[in-house]
Amino acid sequence: MTTDRDRSHDAGREIEELAGRLCRLLEEQLIAGREGDLSRVEQLGWQADALVTGITCREGGAAGISQTRRRDLKRSYDELTLMLKAEQADVQGKLKQLRKVKRVVGAYRTNR
């Protein structure tokens, strides 16, 4: 016979396990981002989203994640966010440069 305490303990262990998997996924995303593999970052992001949903749907939710794990998750998430913002800025810079080249080519064509 399982008691409420047993179920609560099992739920807490399950949440902590999911949080550990989420932490590993974030680390994989960071590695993929450093390698420039943004499609892999996106793919892992979908998996991370599913884990977050799984955590929040469980009894106790995110409150069941230990403080140490929370710190690790926050650090990884912050680093990933920074990396993606830098990548976004780089892409925007390249697009701006491409638009300038396109205008120059267009002006050259009309002057001929």
Report the pLDDT value the prediction gives residue 95, as an integer from 0 to 100: 94
pLDDT of residue 81: 95
The whole model's pTM is what? 0.76
Question: 77 and 83 in contact (C-beta within 8 Å)?
Answer: no
- φ, ψ (nearest 5 deg) of residue 65: -85, 135
Residue 83 vs residue 112, higher pLDDT: 83
Angle between helices 67-111 and 38-57 (to 10 degrees): 140
d(CA 75, CA 27): 10
**pLDDT tens per residue across span 53-91:** 999 888 778 888 889 999 999 999 999 999 999 999 999
Mean pLDDT of the 6-30 span: 87
